[in-house]
A and B are shown apart, each in its own frame.
Chain A
C-alpha cells in the first residue's frame, strides 16, 4: 500500500518536474537515437548534467560520455576535463575526434572536485565538461544543478555503481555495462520529465 502511494507520488513529481524547473531553452542530440527518442525534448537539455554509472573502470563510460557530448560542442567548442585522479589521457580523446586545442584540463584534489566542477559548469564558455566523480553529498550535486542551469553547457559525471541507491541529480542517469570490444550496453535509469524509465537495453558502438 505504502509503496503504491510512493510510486504514485513519484510519478506526479516527475510529471510536474519540467514545469517547476522551467522548460529547457535548448536541447542537443545525444548522438544515440534510442536515447534521444526517449528524452522529453528529443535530446539532452543544455544547462544540465548527465550521470553515467559503471561498475568499474575500463567499461567504457568515459568514451560513451565523449560520444554523447559531440553535439554539445558544435556551438561552444571549448571543453573541460576535471581530472581529480590525474589519469585522463588526452591522446585517446584526440583519437575519438576531439580537438585538444580547445581543451582545458583542471587537476584538482578530490576534496575540491565539487567546487571546481560547479565553476566549470557555471561558465558560459564551455560546451561540455567531464568529471570522474566519486562519492559526493547531495548539497554538492544541488550546486552542480544550479551551476549547470546558469552556464548552459552540458556536464558529464562518471560515478561508481554504488551511487545507484542515491538520488539522481542529473537530467539523465544511465547505467553503463560492457558489451564486447568497442561497444557498451546502456540502460536509462532516470530521465527528468519522464515518469518511468524504459525497460530496454541499448547497445552503442563507441
Chain B
C-alpha cells in the first residue's frame, strides 16, 4: 500500500506575499485579479474577512469597506513558481514530490503532494515524519496543514478539512469511515458540481455513498464518481512528480553544512567518478545530468548538463560539471530573486566561500536521460562533414554548451520567408530540419544583419544619420520591395536600399512604407 503526504498551505498566495513583504503581517490585505468581469478580489486575509471582505466581490466594493485595506495584484506565475521551489525543498522528505495540478476545484495550486512510501522509517516513523515536515515549514514561516493517507485524494481531503496534522490508516474500511463525515468539497470537485449537489441535501461524503452509483454520472458528470473512487482507493491515481525519477543517482548528505566550494568540488568529483562507474557497469552513457545542491534554508539549486553524445567518462563529465558549477557560484543573483548570492573568493586558494544562507547540506547527481553505450546518435552533419568529425568533436560541443548554455551552439536552417530577419532560423544542434534549405535570394544580402532594425534619419538620397554620425550618401541601389505575408499578425511593407556612404561602407536601409520611417538593417561587410 502506498502512503501519500499532502501539505496544504491555506491562502497560499497571501502566505507567499507576506513572506515577501513581512510588514504586511497582521494587516487587512487582499489580492485581486483582473478578469472580464472587472477587478475582482481573489484572496483575502482573516483581518480583511473581519471587515467584511469576501473573495469574489469587486475591488471597489472591498475598498469601500475600509480605508486601511491593503491590496495587491495576484501574480499566479510567481506564486506557482514559489510553490514549485518549496516542492523541490520538500525532496528532503521524499524523492517523489509534486504540486497539486490546478483544476476546476482550485484555480491555483496550494498543496504539495509527496509519495512517502517507505520513507517514514528513515525519520523514525510516520508520526515523526509528519511532525518534522510541519515543524520545518513552520520554522520557515509558513502555515501548513498536513495529512498522511493511503490515497492522494484522501490525503488532500484530510489536509484541507481534517485536523492540522493527521495520519490515516491503510485499511479500506477505516479509510471509508474516516472519509464519510468529510464535506463533499474534500473530493476536489468543481464549484459547478457542488452547486448541483447542495440543493439535493448532499453535503457530506456519507450522503453521496448512500446514493445509487449508477445514476450519479448521468446527473453530475463522470468527475464525481472518479474523485470519490480515487479518494477511496478504488481507482488508482498517479502523483505527477515535479522532477522525473532519475535513471542513475548518487547522493551524499553532510553532517555539517558545507561553506567551501573547494571541498564541495572535490566531493562532487568523487561522486562523478562513482556515477560514471555505475553507468559503465550498466553499459550506458549519460545524456542529461543534473547536480542538485540542497541548501539549509534556500530552495535547492539544480545545475544541468546536456550532452550531445552519451558519455560515461568521469573526466569528461566532471569537466563539464565543473565549468557549470563555477558559473553557478559566481552568479550575482539567483533566478528566483529571493536569496542573494554573494560569494567571496579567497585569493590564496581561489576557492569560493558560500554565504551562510546557502550553505550546502546535501548534494545529489542525477542522470535523467541515458542511452546504451552501443546506441550512438546519428552524426550531426551529413555527407562529407560527418566523415571528418573526430571523437573530440562532440566533446567540444559539450564544452561549449556547458560554458555558454545549450542555446549557444546552433545550426542554421534557411526558411522560405521574405522578411530578412525571418529568412533563417538557428536550431539546436540535435534538431533536424524538416525541409530542404530554400534557394538563396537573388538580390544581394548583407553578411551582418542587425538583430533588430535600428531607426535612422535619412534625407534621401543625400544624408544618413545613424548612431549620432552623419554620413553623406555616395551611391544608392534599390529599392527592393519586401513584404511579409498578409496572414502574419503584423503586416510589413518595406523598401530596401543599398547605400554607400562617403567612407566606402555599404549599409542596408529600408523605409517602412506604413509610417515612412527609415531603419538600418545591416551592413555589407
Contact = CB atoms under 8 A, between A and B. Distances in A.
Contacts of B446: 89, 92
Q: What is the interface residue range for chain A against chain B?
A: 35 or more
A59 to B, nearest CB: 6
Main secondary structure on chain A at its contact with chain B? mixed
A103 B523 CA distance: 21
Contacts of A100: 412, 414, 437
Contact of B451 (A60, A87, A90): A87
Nearest to A206: B524
A57 B448 CA distance: 8
A143 interface: no
Given A101-B383, A103-B412, A125-B388, A95 B426 contact: no
Given A57-B448, A94-B414, A87 B384 contact: no
Contact of A59 (B388, B390, B403, B504): B504
Nearest to A105: B410
B447 A63 contact: yes
Contacts of B382: 101
A30 B451 CA distance: 31
B400 A101 contact: no
Contact of B403 (A77, A78, A112): A112
Given A76-B388, A123-B396, A108 B408 contact: yes
B424 A90 contact: yes
Most buried by A among B411, B423, B441, B448: B448
Interface string B407-437: 1111110100000100110100100000001
A92 B424 CA distance: 11
A194 B524 CA distance: 32
Interface in A98-133: 100-109, 112, 115-116, 119-120, 122-125, 132
Interface stretch (A5-13, A16-24, A43-51, A175-183): A175-183
Interface in A48-105: 54-63, 66, 76-78, 85-95, 100-105
A104 B429 contact: yes
Given A55-B503, A59-B505, A119-B399, A125 B389 contact: yes
Contact of A178 (B408, B426, B451, B503): B503
Given A94-B440, A101-B383, A106-B409, A61 B525 contact: yes
B500 interface: yes
Contacts of B414: 90-91, 94, 100
A179 B381 CA distance: 38
A62 B445 CA distance: 13
A91 B442 CA distance: 11
Given A89-B424, A93-B447, A119-B399, A101 B525 contact: no
A124 B448 CA distance: 27
Interface in B194-215: none
B449 interface: yes
B489 interface: no
A8 B520 CA distance: 48
B390 A87 contact: no
B381 A78 contact: yes
Most buried by B among A76, A86, A125, A180: A125
A158 B191 CA distance: 66
B134 to A, nearest CB: 45
B158 interface: no
A102 B426 CA distance: 13
Nearest to B502: A178
Given A89-B449, A125-B388, A181-B500, A104 B524 contact: no
Nearest to A184: B504
B506 interface: yes
A107 B523 contact: no
Contacts of B76: none
A119 B440 contact: no
B400 A95 contact: no
A106 B400 contact: yes
B475 interface: yes
B441 A90 contact: no
Contact of A108 (B384, B404, B412, B475): B404
Interface string B466-500: 00000000010100000000000000000000001
Nearest to B384: A77
Interface string A158-174: 10000000000000000
Nearest to A130: B447
B445 A91 contact: yes
Contacts of A109: 404
A133 B409 CA distance: 18
B180 to A, nearest CB: 62
A135 to B, nearest CB: 18
Interface in B132-155: none
Contacts of A122: 396
Interface in B329-343: none
Contacts of B22: none
A154 to B, nearest CB: 15
Contacts of B399: 119
Contact of B523 (A58, A115, A179, A181): A58
B447 A62 contact: yes
B505 A107 contact: no
7 contacts: A63-B525, A108-B404, A109-B404, A125-B396, A179-B504, A181-B477, A181-B500
Given A101-B382, A107-B408, A119-B399, 8 more contacts: A58-B506, A90-B412, A92-B445, A95-B440, A101-B383, A109-B404, A123-B396, A125-B389
Interface of A: 54-63, 66, 76-78, 85-95, 100-109, 112, 115-116, 119-120, 122-125, 132, 158, 177-181
The 3 lowest CB-CB distance pairs between A and B, nearest first, are A178-B504, A58-B505, A58-B523
